[in-house]
């Protein structure tokens, strides 16, 4: 668990007052574990991989049944009762979270608010699906709790590699949850005279686009997350790069580092970090489906407004997730995929 000074930032919007919450690392490292009575068991994962500790955070498991629309989270404390709380589905919020499914929990107006965002790959059968998500609480009390998860059903099936195939692209939507706090209508209302110290907040979300390029001949993957926006304020954020990392024999990848992109579309961020190799986070994930038609994973950032805190955020952190489809298949980002070989 990491200490930081709570900092409140006033932002001139009608929807929220933002508060930069304190950071809290987690020591959970287990993957998504479906099964049990709640919710319905969607299948047993066979990849056998563990979520890296830096990305798992406080999350030890998330049980996500896409058919019954139910999510149970384990490891994120102080979110709800009982020990394995079932989060409430909030489909009306999906559009504000880049199309990812939104689930929330808050036991009473003075308890922490927790947000979970999850997605299952589309256009694949029961065997070969990939599911991924992220969870994040808001404040108060100088700490937050969160993490990411992902898994697939079935065995790894790499695409064919030949003189003309083996380099594959994936494109779609990204969603992140931050330790920037928002007070708005998503929270249970508190009495007007409630002390500031007792007033909860929710986690502010970041949306963006993500592109991954996988070389199944050399077993390497890399990518970009761009068009990043801190949604409650509308603030554009710097684009980031997912630095090339290895794909293991079981179709998993981990140990990937994240950097600010040296090519920034927004003029405000041009030259934001001229030092290539400045590690600002980690990413990892798993390929799934026939010919690895889909991929899911997680991202954790230690900062996202520049090494000199260009936007005034200190100790900012983000847990993000992605579920993407291979270019040339349904549900991929067609505007990007039109430019690459299927």
Alpha helices (H) along 98-203 = none
Residue 97 in this model has a pLDDT that exceeds 60 = yes
In tens, the pLDDT along 329-340 reads 877 887 888 888
Residue 193, classified by CB atoms within 10 Å of its CB into exposed (0-12), middle (13-18) or buried (19+), is exposed
- The structure tokens listed for 321 are 């997730």
Would you state the pLDDT for residue 163? Answer: 61
85, 149, 242 from 298: Cα distances, Å? 22, 7, 11
Spatial separation of the C-alpha atoms in residues 147 and 137, rounded to whole Å: 10
DSSP structure string for 111-123:
SPPEEEEEEE-SS
Alpha helices (H) along the chain = 53-56, 334-337
- Which of 164-173, 262-271, 296-305 shows the lowest per-residue confidence on average (mean pLDDT)? 164-173
Read off the pTM.
0.86
Residue 31 in this model has a pLDDT that exceeds 70 = no
In order of their start, the domains of the chain are 7-337 (2.40.160.90)
């Amino acid at each position: 668990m990491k200490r930081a000074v709570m900092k409140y930032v006033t932002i001139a919007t009608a929807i929220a007052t933002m508060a930069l919450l304190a950071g809290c690392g987690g020591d959970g490292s287990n993957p998504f574990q479906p099964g049990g009575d709640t919710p319905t068991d969607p299948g047993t994962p066979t990849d056998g991989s563990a979520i890296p500790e830096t990305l798992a955070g406080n999350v030890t498991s998330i049980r996500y049944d896409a058919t019954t629309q139910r999510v149970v989270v384990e490891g994120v404390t102080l979110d709800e009762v009982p020990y394995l709380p079932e989060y409430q589905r909030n489909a009306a919020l999906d559009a504000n979270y880049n199309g990812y499914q939104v689930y929330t929990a808050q036991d009473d107006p003075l308890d922490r608010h927790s947000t979970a965002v999850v997605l299952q790959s589309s256009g694949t059968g029961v065997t070969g699906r990939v599911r991924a998500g992220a969870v994040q609480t808001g404040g108060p009390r100088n700490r937050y709790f969160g993490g990411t998860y992902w898994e697939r059903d079935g065995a790894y099936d790499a695409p064919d590699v030949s003189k003309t195939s083996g380099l594959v692209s994936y494109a779609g939507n990204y969603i992140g949850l931050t330790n920037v706090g928002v007070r708005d209508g998503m929270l249970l209302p508190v009495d007007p005279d409630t002390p500031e110290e007792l007033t909860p907040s929710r986690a502010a979300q970041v949306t963006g686009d993500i592109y991954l390029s996988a070389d199944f001949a050399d077993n390497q993957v890399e990518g970009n997350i761009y068009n990043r926006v801190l949604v409650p304020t509308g603030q554009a954020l710097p684009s980031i790069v997912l630095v090339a990392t290895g794909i293991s024999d079981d179709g998993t990848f981990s140990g990937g580092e994240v950097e600010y992109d040296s090519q920034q579309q927004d003029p405000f961020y041009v030259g934001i970090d001229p030092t290539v190799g400045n590690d600002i986070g980690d990413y990892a994930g798993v390929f799934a489906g026939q010919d690895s038609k889909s991929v899911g994973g997680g991202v954790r950032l230690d900062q996202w407004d520049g090494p000199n805190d260009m936007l005034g955020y200190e100790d900012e952190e983000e847990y993000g997730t992605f579920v993407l489809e291979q270019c040339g298949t349904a549900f991929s980002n067609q505007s990007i995929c039109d430019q690459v070989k299927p």
